[in-house]
A = this chain, B = another copy of it.
Amino acid sequence: DSGALQQVARILNGGLSPSDIAHLLESSPPRQRAVLWNLVDKDLEGDVLQYLNDDIRSYFLSKLNAQELAAVIEDFESDDLADLLQQLPDAVIQEVLDTMDAQDRERVEEVLSYPEDTAGGLMNTDTVTVRPDISIDVVQRYLRRHRSLPPMTDSLIVVNRKDEYVGVMSLTRMLVSSPSATVREIMDTDVEPIPVTMPDNRVATLFERYDLISAPVVGDNGKLLGRITIDDVVDVIREDADHSLMSLAGLDEDEDTFAPIFRTSRRRAVWLGVNVVTAFTSATVIGLFEGTIQKVVALAVLMPIVASMGGIAGSQTLTLVIRGMALGQISRDNLRWLLNREFLSTILNSLLFSVIVAGVAVAWFGQPTIGLVIGLALIINLSIASVVGTLLPLFLKKRNIDPALAGGVVLLTVTDVMGFLSFLGLATIFYG
């Protein structure tokens, strides 16, 4: 009833921050989500959109016309605006740009000209700059002429007359310095500016490694273009980390937890389709040995053990390598060591488990031969799994294939195929 709805609307628009509202929308099934969205105040819509996940945001954006869009995005910072515009069809982008004033349009077109996953796509153009030769006293009077400073301003950027980057002056440093000191005396010129073309995950590494709050971005010519702030970097870190997790299950990191039925099943069908092909590949391998299985049915009972142990061992290696690559730890210099370590530690474990598994198998079926076959097959499959788990992600990355997305499927296909092949192959020899 509408009384209850009005009450919800009051709570939504009165007591909650835009990020809280975004979280509430993300946590709601589609129907409630649509109801809630209609209750959000028009002036809050833009703020809420900034915090929404890409998947949900593009849905709401698709419901707005160019006028409404232009109104909603009025107060967007340029990086958020560029993010948002990149989700829209080109025709709509042009319409939106047409409704903006010249200065804003220029600012947005600038940011739109950089790929989303680079420093350029992350940066804001709202820098506060000062010249090196003025005194702190003058800087303070200049700042007092502002009504406010941009969010996440922890330092002022020092530029020369040609607008080229010179250094940064942190606000805390400024506040403990004498008013008569000049910017030049207290600025920090050791801070390397970020090139506008740097990939966003490298930007994130820099922020994490040097505990930055904001960092200046420059073009090829050394001219200051904008700055990147930690809040946007945290999003990159979160998304990169989510990416590996979700991709290993064939999901997108922007996946809406409460996507409707048909969208969900359509997306998942692709992944199931890939896996049905790999499943039939394994089945084909087993099919080669129908005669052997017919003779010794115990083989059919035990064969999944070899395949699944290989999959487990390989997944551990694969996950460790994918994480190591994401952290920038793995290079040609240490790859050989890593491969040796994975191989040798897996060999140790495969010896241990081949004894255990063979023992159980012999006790179960009373045939020493089956123990020998499963023990050897385990050693072979786990060894292969460790090598493939280490090298596959690096191989895929070289070919510009996402290791997190393709790695798991390829690895499990290999461990299944090699598991059945080694076990049933050895059985055919020994029972032949």
Q: Which residues of B contact A278 (CB under 8 A)?
A: 308
Once bound together, how far apart are the Cα atoms of A348 and B245, in whole Å? 25
Question: Contact between B304 and A349 (Cβ–Cβ < 8 Å)?
Answer: no
**Does A125 touch B at the CB level, under 8 Å?**
no
Question: Contact between A258 and B334 (Cβ–Cβ < 8 Å)?
Answer: yes
Q: Which residues of B contact A102 (CB under 8 A)?
A: none
Q: Which residues of B contact A345 (CB under 8 A)?
A: 261-262, 264-265, 268
Question: Contact between A153 and B172 (Cβ–Cβ < 8 Å)?
Answer: yes
Once bound together, how far apart are the Cα atoms of A275 and B248, in whole Å? 19
Once bound together, how far apart are the Cα atoms of A301 and B284, in whole Å? 7
Q: Which residues of B contact A230 (CB under 8 A)?
A: 213, 230, 234
Contact A283/B255 with A213-B230, A265-B346 known, Cβ cut-off 8 Å: no
Question: Contact between B245 and A319 (Cβ–Cβ < 8 Å)?
Answer: yes
CB distance from A26 to the nearest CB of B (A): 6
Among listed A67-75, A219-227, A325-333, interface-contacting one:
A325-333
Residue of B nearest to A315 (CB): B249
Question: Contact between B272 and A144 (Cβ–Cβ < 8 Å)?
Answer: no
Contact A324/B241 with A29-B337, A208-B234 known, Cβ cut-off 8 Å: no
**Does A76 touch B at the CB level, under 8 Å?**
no
- Of the candidates B144, B273, B301, B353, the one whose C-beta lies within 8 Å of that of A175 is B144
Once bound together, how far apart are the Cα atoms of A76 and B261, in whole Å? 52
Q: Which residues of B contact A383 (CB under 8 A)?
A: none
**Does A140 touch B at the CB level, under 8 Å?**
yes
- Of the candidates B234, B286, B324, the one whose C-beta lies within 8 Å of that of A234 is B234
CB distance from A412 to the nearest CB of B (A): 8
Question: Contact between B171 and A265 (Cβ–Cβ < 8 Å)?
Answer: no
Q: Which residues of B contact A172 (CB under 8 A)?
A: 148-149, 153, 171
Among listed A110-118, A157-165, A195-203, A292-300, interface-contacting one:
A292-300
**Does A98 touch B at the CB level, under 8 Å?**
no
Once bound together, how far apart are the Cα atoms of A346 and B278, in whole Å? 19
**Does A209 touch B at the CB level, under 8 Å?**
yes
- Of the candidates B51, B249, B307, B309, the one whose C-beta lies within 8 Å of that of A316 is B249
Q: Which residues of B contact A209 (CB under 8 A)?
A: 17, 19-20, 23, 51
A–B Cβ pairs within 8 angstroms, 16 of them: A17-B209, A19-B209, A19-B211, A26-B329, A144-B175, A144-B176, A208-B238, A211-B231, A249-B316, A249-B318, A251-B316, A257-B323, A265-B349, A276-B305, A287-B364, A304-B307
Q: Which 6 A-B pairs have the closest CB atoms?
A: A241-B241, A265-B345, A300-B300, A249-B319, A149-B172, A19-B209
Taking Cβ atoms with an 8 Å cutoff, the residues of A that contact B are 17, 19-20, 23, 26-29, 51, 140, 143-144, 146-149, 151-154, 171-173, 175-178, 207-211, 213, 230-231, 234, 237-238, 241-242, 244-246, 248-251, 255, 257-262, 264-265, 268-269, 271-273, 275-276, 278-280, 282-283, 286-287, 290, 293-294, 297-305, 307-309, 312-313, 315-316, 318-320, 323-324, 327-331, 334, 337-338, 341-342, 344-346, 348-349, 352-353, 356-357, 360, 364, 412, 416, 420
